[in-house]
């Protein structure tokens, strides 16, 4: 297993936002993280990225204990958190925004990544020289995803990437997850849109009150209705 989270607890003030969570993920696997508002999904992803403090537990990545490392040293190891509040720099061009995501890399590496991001999201090539401020909401979200890919991540922690998007843009991003990334980049996907996540996930977990209640795999849930039923079952019993 390439990512191993063991007994992770995150205390934020008086709140145990994440409580004794263990999860192991193989390289290239997509694991969806489901749970109601406030169940700890964001805090869990942030703790893996080094953006929320682990009070207890350990996170290892490719065999290395990364728990003590600050966020930027995790980025250097390929670990990227993409916030549900991610914004693009409106007064910078699309190309400059992309380059921000590759700031740790050489210009030659950035050039290669830029081409592959352009192939995934052609609109970012077409509008490379324009200010990000002129992009539509959907195009901005493609830029957010493209910017993360510019760092050549091996572990992407995606926090509700489909929030507020049209079906068309959502499907475009899903196609990228499923096509270019699945099997290569490890992805944890916190999502309220069960149906969208179901299209790409290999496994899923359900959070409630900071605890990981249930871990299931794709073959356990034939369709969205079945997934909803599992979700309701755990929420009604409260674990």
Ligand X SMILES: Nc1ncnc2c1ncn2[C@@H]1O[C@H](COP(=O)(O)OP(=O)(O)OP(=O)(O)O)[C@@H](O)[C@H]1O
Q: Does 39 bind Mg ion (CB under 5 A)?
A: no
Strand 3-12: give its sheet, edge to edge: 15-25, 3-12, 56-61, 64-65
Which residue lies nearer to ligand X by CB, 57 or 102? 57
DSSP label at residue 150: T
Q: Does 186 bind ligand X (CB under 6 A)?
A: no
Q: Does 35 bind ligand X (CB under 6 A)?
A: yes
In angstroms, give the least distance from the CB of 12 to ligand X: 4
Interacting partner of 38 out of ligand X, Mg ion, none (Cβ under 5 to 8 A depending on kind): ligand X
Q: Does 40 bind ligand X (CB under 6 A)?
A: yes
How many Å apart are CA 159 and CA 157, to the nearest integer?
6
* Residue owning tokens 């020289």: 129
Interacting partner of 19 out of ligand X, Mg ion, none (Cβ under 5 to 8 A depending on kind): none
Q: Does 42 bind Mg ion (CB under 5 A)?
A: yes
How many Å apart are CA 239 and CA 237, to the nearest integer?
5
Which residue lies nearer to ligand X by CB, 17 or 173? 17
Q: Does 17 bind ligand X (CB under 6 A)?
A: yes
How many Å apart are CA 129 and CA 56, to the nearest integer?
46
Residues 58-117 that bind ligand X (CB under 6 A): none
* CA angle 116–121–124, rounded 5-degree value: 95
In angstroms, give the least distance from the CB of 9 to Mg ion: 18
Sole window of 34-42, 102-110, 133-141, 223-231 interacting with ligand X (rule: CB under 6 A): 34-42
Q: Does 15 bind ligand X (CB under 6 A)?
A: yes
18 φ, ψ (degrees, to nearest 5): -130, 135
Q: Does 39 bind ligand X (CB under 6 A)?
A: yes
DSSP lists the bridge partners of residue 212 as 207
How many Å apart are CA 19 and CA 7, to the nearest integer?
8
- Which of 21, 31, 32, 42 is close enough to bind ligand X by CB under 6 A? 42
Q: Determine contact, residues 189/197, Cβ cutoff 8 Å.
A: yes
Q: What is the DSSP pairing of strand 186-190 with strand 155-159?
A: parallel
Interacting partner of 92 out of Mg ion, ligand X, none (Cβ under 5 to 8 A depending on kind): none
- Which of 37, 106, 219, 237 is close enough to bind ligand X by CB under 6 A? 37
Q: Which of 204, 198, 202 is nearest to 162 (CA)?
A: 198
Residues within the interface to ligand X (CB under 6 A): 12-13, 15, 17, 35, 37-43
Residues within the interface to Mg ion (CB under 5 A): 41-42
């Amino acid at each position: 297993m390439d990512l191993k989270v063991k007994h992770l607890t995150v205390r934020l003030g008086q709140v145990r936002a994440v409580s004794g969570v263990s999860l192991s993920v193989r390289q290239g696997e997509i694991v969806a993280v489901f749970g109601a508002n406030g169940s700890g999904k964001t805090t869990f992803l942030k703790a893996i990225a080094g953006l929320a403090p682990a009070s207890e537990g350990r996170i290892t990545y490719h065999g290395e204990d990364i728990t003590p490392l600050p966020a930027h040293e995790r980025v250097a190891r390929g670990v990227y958190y993409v916030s549900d509040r991610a914004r693009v720099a409106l007064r910078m061009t699309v190309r400059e925004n992309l380059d921000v995501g590759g700031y740790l890399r050489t210009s030659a590496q950035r050039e290669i990544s830029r081409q592959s991001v352009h192939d995934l999201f052609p609109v970012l090539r077409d509008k490379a020289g324009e200010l990000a401020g002129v992009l539509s909401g959907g195009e901005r979200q493609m830029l957010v995803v493209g910017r993360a890919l510019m760092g050549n991540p091996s572990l992407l922690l995606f926090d509700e990437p489909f929030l507020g998007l049209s079906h068309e843009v959502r499907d475009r991003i899903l196609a990228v997850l499923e096509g270019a990334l699945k099997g290569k980049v490890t992805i944890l996907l916190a999502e309220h849109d069960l149906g969208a996540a179901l299209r790409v996930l290999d496994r899923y977990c359900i959070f409630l009150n900071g605890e990981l209640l249930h871990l299931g795999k794709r073959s356990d849930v034939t369709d969205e209705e079945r997934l909803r039923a599992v979700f309701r079952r755990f929420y009604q019993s409260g674990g």
